[in-house]
Amino acid sequence: MGSDQSKPTQPPRPVRAAAAAPQQTFRAIPDTYETYEQLQAALRHSGLESSNLILAIDYTKSNTWTGQRSFQNKCLHDIDPTNQVWNPYQSVIHILGRTLEAFDDDKLIPAFGFGDATTGGRACFPFLTNGDVCVGFDQVLQRYNQITPGIVLSGPTNFAPVIHEAIRVHPAPMR
């Protein structure tokens, strides 16, 4: 038990070095902008000249439990009837409009919802049912406020229908 002959005579195996961690390529954009105009100028400086915007809103049930942790125990789609407090979706629609609408020459914004009980993961639905698209983010926000109270959240989260619709609405230019 305690003799030297009972100990292994082979040298210990070398420990394989851990693979080098991949170099991180993500860098947060410093939030040093105090106005929308400053942010727009930075976007222009970065090369953004114009865009064809499209907006899709996630109506899956995950908005319920995510809101329990991050939105005062309310669904992220909860709309304040007094309109004094915006939910996160209303805030983002407003911020996107103030920031990016200047880059959309025609101001036509196709807006869709997905993940609700009606469409599930199979389809998406347009904010305007007559085939029209919203004119500006003010109308996107107005339609969001009108339709959201009647939406039944469901799932699954499936971006494919929205991606297919985006391709249909804004096809890639031929080269």
Does residue 8 register a pLDDT over 80? Answer: no
Q: How far apart are the first and last CA of the chain?
A: 79
d(CA 156, CA 117): 9
Q: Per residue, what are the HEC states of 93-154? A: HHHHHHHHHHHCCCCEECEEEECECCCCCCCEEECCCCCCCEEHHHHHHHHHHHHHHHCCEE
Q: How confident is the model at residue 31 (pLDDT cuts 50, 70, 90)?
A: confident
Residue-wise pLDDT for 162-172, tens only, equals 999 999 998 87
3 state SS of 60: strand
Tokens 């985006």, located at residue: 166
Is there a contact between 47 and 57 (Cβ–Cβ < 8 Å)? no
Q: How confident is the model at residue 19 (pLDDT cuts 50, 70, 90)?
A: low
Is there a contact between 137 and 90 (Cβ–Cβ < 8 Å)? no
Q: Report the percent of the chain where pLDDT is more than 90.
A: 72
Q: What pLDDT score was predicted for residue 7?
A: 46
In terms of Cα–Cα distance, which of 117, 124, 113, 144 is closest to 61? 117
Is there a contact between 47 and 40 (Cβ–Cβ < 8 Å)? no
d(CA 156, CA 153): 10
In this structure, the strands spanning 124-126 and 55-58 are: unpaired
Q: How confident is the model at residue 173 (pLDDT cuts 50, 70, 90)?
A: confident
Q: What pLDDT score was predicted for residue 171?
A: 83
